[in-house]
């Protein structure tokens, strides 16, 4: 019965599974997961272990997110020797070289996003990683930089842009204050940050806030990065906050799960078969791994709650099976996957769906429609995972989670009788997966399904997309006289509507969304900044690329043949 249901949803292209699942399921090593995230420790052994983990993940087709926020800044002390630390840039360059060297059997180059907190002392150099000017020894052109922002930063940008921002070293803070600033969020983080600012023992790199924001936006417009991670939004909405902290996201900014660094315990010399062997003992931490699939909304009747529920149930079952079928390139990932059983059910064909329904992107009808569709998908995903838990058991850390207490639902304002009945059902039967939904970019799998990518608007009704082996023609799906005017080009859309829609959807997505912003040369510094402030105000957790394009010489294509 399940085989037929899986076959039907895949053959009708109503659901697409992630690229690694598609390309590796038929191989001897069936590494089916897309996303991995590692917390890089502040030690020589720890950093090289993280690079080794990245190499193994990349070898089998996974993308990587690496959080460097715990690594001490340039000029910090090592073993009491002042001013000798080299900072995060030299280690990021090693991650860059690993991405190039380990190229997934020639199929595609390794990919890694590197995350740093906005208050880290090495941020100015970090923002120049991919730019084309400056010292080439401080560059890493093949990694994707991303910044983690607390609410306090955006409040200062909104209310006090003429003020100063203080950059500090996490190692120095932990040595002097006895706590790790990156290990807290929200009001606690703000209180401790201001405490560190006032403490004269902690050295600070003071930078005008306006200059820092200008540096960030300059990098965004030139290189498309850094990606944005709003850490307070993410951690407040974390359904498993009782078990840990989320420091950053993954390569495509849609995964948000508990993280912890791998810790060295001891090295033992043992005898095996008459020979001496060296055994290294480590605590596994929380090495994030996630398995993805997407509902192709352009090929589903989204107004039919039964069809959405049926297909979502099948997709959730299939994703849960991936966890048990999977080959894990590193053991740390296996442990984490079995503890949380995380999955990321997303969507593709969002613009396709709107065009078919005759709904303009820039309209209140779009926001209302998004709320309705994602409410149904969200409900169906939780219900499906709950049914799977009744049959197979809950994930390991269910006890004490927001799923069990019902806080998951109240935090999101899901308080009507239908949702409260589901909350009671989850508390009683448990839930199979600790994390459920994440909207991936689906750049490749949307081509297979003949639909639009992820939650993005189309680049153009007709365009040539550059792929590894050349140019590929793309046409807006189901283009006809009925849908033609609803396919507005991404760069011509008022981006505030995209941000507002992202905020509407975020309520129904327990992890995050890969959302791109599309800007033209008409966008001023202030206009770009206002988009990011709006995203923060609307509760958007992450922003992926900012894609800039000049429209100076673009001809009108509406009447072209």
Rounded Cα distance between 53 and 38, Å, is: 8
Strands (E), 451-541: 462-467, 470-475, 517-520
With contact defined as beta carbons under 8 Å apart, do 185 and 245 qualify? yes
With contact defined as beta carbons under 8 Å apart, do 353 and 477 qualify? no
The one-character DSSP state at 486 is: G
With contact defined as beta carbons under 8 Å apart, do 339 and 395 qualify? yes
With contact defined as beta carbons under 8 Å apart, do 489 and 482 qualify? no
H/E/C letters for each residue in 131-192? CCCCCHHHCCCCCEEEEEECHHHHHHHHHCCCCEEEEECHHHHHHHHCCCHHHCCHHHHHHH
Q: Tokens 């507005």 appear where?
A: 488
Q: Token pair for residue 515?
A: 């959302």
How crowded is residue 191: how many other Cβ atoms within 10 Å of its Cβ?
11
Q: Which of 125, 254, 261, 383 is catalytic?
A: 254
Q: Which of 169, 252, 290, 386 is catalytic?
A: 252
35 carries an active-site annotation: no
250 carries an active-site annotation: yes
With contact defined as beta carbons under 8 Å apart, do 36 and 57 qualify? yes
Q: Measured over all CA atoms, what is the biggest interatomic distance in the chain, rounded to whole angstroms? A: 81
254 carries an active-site annotation: yes
**Cis amide leading into 226 (omega within 30):** yes
With contact defined as beta carbons under 8 Å apart, do 286 and 253 qualify? no
The one-character DSSP state at 493 is: S
Q: End-to-end CA distance of the chain: give it in Å, rounded.
A: 48
How crowded is residue 141: how many other Cβ atoms within 10 Å of its Cβ?
12
- The helix/strand/coil state of 18 is coil
With contact defined as beta carbons under 8 Å apart, do 298 and 478 qualify? yes
Rounded Cα distance between 165 and 167, Å, is: 7
| Contacts for 242-248: CB closer than 8 Å, 24+ residues apart | 242/397, 242/400, 242/401, 242/402, 243/397, 243/400, 243/401, 244/286, 245/183, 245/184, 245/185, 247/39, 247/67, 247/69, 247/115, 247/148, 247/182, 248/37, 248/65, 248/67, 248/69, 248/115, 248/146, 248/148
With contact defined as beta carbons under 8 Å apart, do 163 and 209 qualify? yes
Enumerate the β-bridge partners of residue 64.
36, 112
Q: Which of 53, 96, 235, 250 is catalytic?
A: 250
Helices (H) and strands (E) counted in the chain, each on its own, are: 20, 17
Rounded Cα distance between 64 and 407, Å, is: 31
Q: Token pair for residue 124?
A: 């100015």
The one-character DSSP state at 437 is: B
The catalytic residue positions are 250, 252, 254
């Amino acid at each position: 019965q399940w085989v037929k249901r899986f076959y039907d949803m895949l053959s009708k292209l109503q659901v697409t599974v992630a690229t690694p699942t598609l390309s590796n399921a038929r191989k001897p090593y069936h590494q089916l997961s897309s996303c991995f995230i590692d917390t890089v420790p502040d030690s020589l052994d720890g950093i090289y272990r993280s690079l080794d983990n990245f190499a193994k993940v990349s070898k089998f087709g996974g993308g990587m997110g690496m959080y460097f926020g715990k690594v001490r800044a340039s000029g910090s002390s090592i073993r009491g020797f002042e001013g000798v630390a080299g900072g995060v840039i030299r280690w990021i360059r090693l991650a860059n070289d690993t991405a190039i060297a380990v190229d997934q059997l020639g199929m595609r180059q390794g990919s890694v996003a590197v995350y740093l907190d906005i208050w880290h002392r090495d941020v100015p150099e970090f923002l120049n990683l991919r730019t084309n000017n400056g010292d080439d020894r401080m560059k890493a052109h093949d990694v994707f930089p991303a910044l983690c922002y607390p609410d306090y930063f955006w409040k200062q940008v909104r209310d006090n842009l003429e003020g100063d921002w203080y950059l500090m070293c996490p190692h120095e803070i932990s040595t002097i204050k006895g706590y790790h600033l990156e290990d807290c969020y929200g009001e606690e983080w703000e209180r401790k940050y201001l405490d560190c600012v006032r403490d004269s023992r902690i050295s600070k790199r003071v930078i005008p806030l306006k200059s820092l924001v200008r540096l960030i936006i300059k990098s965004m417009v030139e290189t498309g990065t850094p990606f944005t991670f709003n850490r307070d939004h993410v951690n407040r909405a974390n359904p498993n906050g009782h078990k840990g902290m989320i420091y950053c996201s993954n390569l495509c900014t849609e995964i948000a799960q508990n993280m912890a660094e791998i810790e060295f315990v001891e090295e033992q010399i043992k005898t095996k078969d008459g020979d001496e062997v060296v055994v290294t003992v480590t605590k596994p931490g929380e090495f994030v791994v996630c398995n993805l699939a997407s509902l192709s909304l352009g090929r589903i009747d989204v107004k039919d709650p039964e069809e959405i529920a049926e297909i979502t149930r099948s997709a959730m079952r299939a994703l849960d099976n991936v966890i048990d079928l999977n080959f894990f390139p590193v053991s740390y990932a296996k442990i984490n996957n079995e503890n949380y059983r995380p999955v990321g059910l997303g969507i593709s064909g969002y613009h396709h769906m709107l065009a078919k329904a005759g709904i303009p992107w820039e309209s209140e009808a779009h926001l209302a429609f998004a709320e309705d569709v994602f409410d149904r998908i969200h409900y169906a995903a939780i219900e499906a995972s709950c049914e799977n838990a009744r049959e197979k058991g809950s994930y390991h850390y269910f006890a004490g989670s927001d799923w069990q207490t019902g806080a998951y639902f109240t935090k999101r304002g899901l308080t009507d009788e239908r949702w409260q009945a589901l909350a009671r059902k989850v508390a009683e039967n448990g839930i199979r997966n600790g994390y459920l939904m994440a909207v991936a970019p689906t750049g490749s799998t949307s081509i297979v399904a003949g639909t639009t990518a992820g939650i993005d608007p189309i680049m153009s009704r007709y365009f040539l997309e550059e792929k590894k082996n050349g140019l590929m023609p793309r046409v807006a799906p189901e283009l006809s006289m009925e849908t033609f005017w609803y396919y507005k080009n991404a760069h011509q859309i008022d981006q505030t509507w995209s941000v507002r829609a992202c905020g509407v959807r975020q309520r129904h997505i327990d992890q995050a969304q890969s959302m791109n912003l599309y800007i033209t040369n008409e966008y001023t510094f202030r206009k770009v900044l206002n988009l990011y402030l709006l995203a923060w105000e609307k509760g958007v957790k992450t922003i992926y690329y900012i894609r800039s394009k000049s429209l100076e010489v673009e001809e009108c294509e509406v009447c072209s043949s």
